[in-house]
Amino acid sequence: MTEWVAAKLSEWAVNLRPQDLSDDVLAKAEDCILDAIASAIPGSQSDGAQRVKSVATSSYGPGDANVWFSGEKIHPTGAAFANAASASMLDIDDGHRRANGHPGAAVVPAVLAAFGPDANGIDVLTAVVAAYEVCIRAGMSENRRAYHTGNYTGYGAAVAVARANRLNAEQLMHALAITTYHAPRVADLTLSQDMGANVKESIPWSVVAGMSASNLAENGFTGCRDALDIDERFTAGIALEGLAEGYFPTGVNGGRESHVIMRTYFKRYACCRWCHSAIEALLTIMRRHNLAVEDILNVQVDTFRQSANLNNLADPPTLESAQYSVPYCMAVAAVLGEDALTPMSVDSLHNPAAVKLARKMTVTRDKDLDPLFPHQNPSRVIVSTANEVFEEFVTSPWGEPERSPDRADLLGKFRTLARGRLSGDQMSGIIDAVQGLRLGKMARLHDALIC
């Protein structure tokens, strides 16, 4: 193989073996699968996901891949398209700091659709690790002002099909090259004044493009092999840093991890990650000082540029728009409680008390916080009451690698998101199937997701 980035990543991805993975890495892959499925449970009932499901089932022919929680089976690419929409629609899916965005909502649906029920579960977990590694490395090497998942998660979907169909390194190299040209290249959503549409980061389309790219490469279709080396779009060396030596650079004080998946973060709230530090800071102040909503005269939020550039509407018109409003998410948590963000629903829109509180909030860019992003997610919240002023500064909200939840926490999130949507037996069936992947076949999880 040559020194092309696509060639090096492909060679690594097709040669990764289950025995190369530690118990911690395998456990993290299980966590990521559980979290993506959990995110998709309420997400599948959203209007946006239902629209994608309708198009997927009418556009793709029959197959053996599940459209989760529906009982329908269609072609794997169509099923992954629909399931990725469900996993990403409510913005409670996992993320990664170095690439900025949400790999799990693409990788997990693609892997579970690509591997049939007879596949060994350990091979599924290995494919998840390989797909995270490749797409995150590609994402963090991209030169762009936009920070969007749609620009890189297709690479993970390409790896999913390559691992399932046993493509060789040259075929996967072409698949990654094809993905570079065929997959979405999304502009920064914060540039739009209509930050409340169903498109979000185009994760579902990235899945379609990546999976299709591997199918094309398997049939001899070729891509520009130097696609990931073109410096107009990529800084090639970043994607390969530490790969040959078997480590992933965390970017935090020169730290290293064995695999990129170990730096995945998880989300407590169904809103943009850039809102989470401010939400935590406000709730901490209120709890620590026993403040009621009525005590608050005004709130100042100092944050980094990307967070300050969200729509930040005090009375957002749609659920998606609310997900990108720092003050409204803070107000919902303060007025209705944290449970109103797990997940946030249309019932939370236009709440009079939340709107009133949100209008007391000012979100301002603090240029001194910009350098902390993307390695941290900093927000300083200053709450003024009639008698006192309180301040809280949060850089790493719940779920970051530095505050990583354990399996019990993630199972708690799973059950919270599934409550009222799946029966207790259905929840247990999915959880047990994921936790049993290392020693069994995919069939058990395949059946559990029919629901």
If asked whether residues 70 and 109 sit together in one domain, one would say: yes
- Is pLDDT at 100 greater than 90 in this prediction? no
- Give me the pLDDT at residue 16, please: 97
Cis peptide before 405 (omega within 30 of 0): no
If asked whether residues 255 and 277 sit together in one domain, one would say: no
If asked whether residues 312 and 423 sit together in one domain, one would say: no
If asked whether residues 416 and 377 sit together in one domain, one would say: no
Per-residue pLDDT band for 60 (boundaries 50, 70, 90) equals very high
- Is pLDDT at 157 greater than 90 in this prediction? yes
- Give me the pLDDT at residue 451, please: 81
- CATH assignment at residue 378: 3.30.1330.120
Q: When comparing pLDDT for 251 and 310, which is higher?
A: 310
**Residue 40 Cα distances to 74, 241, 265, 345, angstroms:** 18, 33, 17, 14
Mean pLDDT throughout 109-121?
97
Q: Which residue range(s) make up the domain with 360? A: 273-394
Q: When comparing pLDDT for 254 and 391, which is higher?
A: 391
pLDDT digits (tens, 9 = 90+) for 317-331: 999 999 999 999 999
* Percent of all residues in the chain with a pLDDT value above 90, rounded to a whole number: 88
Total structural domains within the chain = 2
CB 138 within 8 A of CB 9: yes
Per-residue pLDDT band for 197 (boundaries 50, 70, 90) equals confident
- Is pLDDT at 194 greater than 80 in this prediction? no
If asked whether residues 152 and 177 sit together in one domain, one would say: yes
- CATH assignment at residue 437: 1.10.4100.10
- Is pLDDT at 18 greater than 60 in this prediction? yes
If asked whether residues 105 and 12 sit together in one domain, one would say: yes
pLDDT digits (tens, 9 = 90+) for 282-320: 999 999 999 999 999 999 999 999 999 999 999 999 999
Rounding to the nearest 10 degrees, give the CA dihedral for residues 404, 409, 413, 416. Answer: -160
- Is pLDDT at 213 greater than 70 in this prediction? yes
pTM score: 0.95
